[in-house]
Chains A and B, each alone.
Chain A
Amino acid sequence: MRRHLVLRVTTKLLMPFILLFALYVQFHGDFGPGGGFQAGVIFGAGFILYALVYGVENARQVAPDPVIRVIIAAGLLLYVGVGFAGLFLGGKFLDYNVLASDPVSGQHLGILLVEFGVGTTVAATMITIFFTFAGRGQDGS
């Protein structure tokens, strides 16, 4: 697909909007439809589109395997970490009330953080799964 000029240019134009929309869905999920899962999938879809049009090897240079692998774990660790933070601050596991000075802003902060953890793990997992599938075909293995 590397020689299709229209696809290449369109992908390049769409790319920033897809990633920006993913971030919007991520951080606006508190107020409208959306959240970590949807945002992660959209963010991953952006990378997948790039890999489809420009080739997996080029996409891997933007998102190297070791970095993506760390991000997969980091998102889940952030989620669990928020849970333990509640534990250490005198609440229960995943109790966001104690994260800030008053319960409501603590809840808001906790939800924001765990949704971010969900988004990063989902995005990195989607990218990894696609790269693994597509990479096999290219290696001829």
Chain B
Amino acid sequence: MARQEGGRVIEIVVDIVLLSFLAVMAVGILRLHNLFAVVMLSGIYSLISASLFVTMDAVDVAFTEAAVGGGISTVLMLGTLALTTDRENLRVADLQILPLIVVLITGAALIYGTLDMPSYGDPQAPVHQHVADRYIAEGPTATGVPNIVTAVLASYRGYDTMGELTVIFTAGIGVMLLLGAGTRRRKG
């Protein structure tokens, strides 16, 4: 029992450390004007988010976040910087009162909203009352796939995954059309 308590304390410490890293990264991204450093920091931000997902036992999500957010996005942003410039166009603005008020009110509303949310991992939470029980109970035997995440993604929620794949397909087609991979002039 004491061992379990110790585990929970360590978990909380890890969570606090990772979340404060996230906050530091966010402030750094806001304050830096060298866009190369900003891209690197946002890559680190993704990696820390992935670590947070790991502590929440969501390894599949962490995997995706590390690969897409930490890897591909960073490379694409660097490619964009290579095409444009890595210096931010500085515009020193006066302190704007109205945007500050809007941000404060929105933030306060969001924090007020979290007070109503079920605590993390609560089995009585509404999201666990609907179909999750059935997926967990019969998923592995009905689909023959031990990883429930894969079973839900590919089988129970097959339509949604097809939609996601269509989104990626459309993104690829859009980039090809906009940046002109198809009409690229050959060298020579």
Contacts and interface: CB of A to CB of B under 8 A. Distances in A.
B147 A115 contact: no
B175 A132 contact: yes
B171 A125 contact: yes
A85 interface: no
B68 interface: yes
A33 B60 contact: yes
A130 B76 contact: yes
A97 B92 CA distance: 62
Contacts of B168: 121-122, 125
Contacts of B82: 134, 137
B20 interface: no
B146 A30 contact: yes
A79 B165 CA distance: 9
Contact of A128 (B141, B155, B175): B175
B150 interface: yes
B72 interface: yes
Q: Is the interface of A mostly helix, strand, loop or mixed?
A: helix
B64 A38 contact: yes
A95 B166 CA distance: 19
A108 B145 contact: yes
Interface in A91-128: 94, 96, 103-105, 107-108, 110-111, 114-115, 117-118, 121-122, 124-126, 128
A35 B176 contact: no
B142 A32 contact: no
B162 interface: yes
A35 B147 CA distance: 10
A133 B80 contact: yes
B79 to A, nearest CB: 4
A130 B60 contact: no
Interface string A13-41: 00000000000010001111111111001
Given A30-B150, A42-B67, A118-B165, 9 more contacts: A33-B60, A33-B63, A69-B176, A75-B169, A79-B161, A79-B162, A79-B165, A114-B154, A132-B181
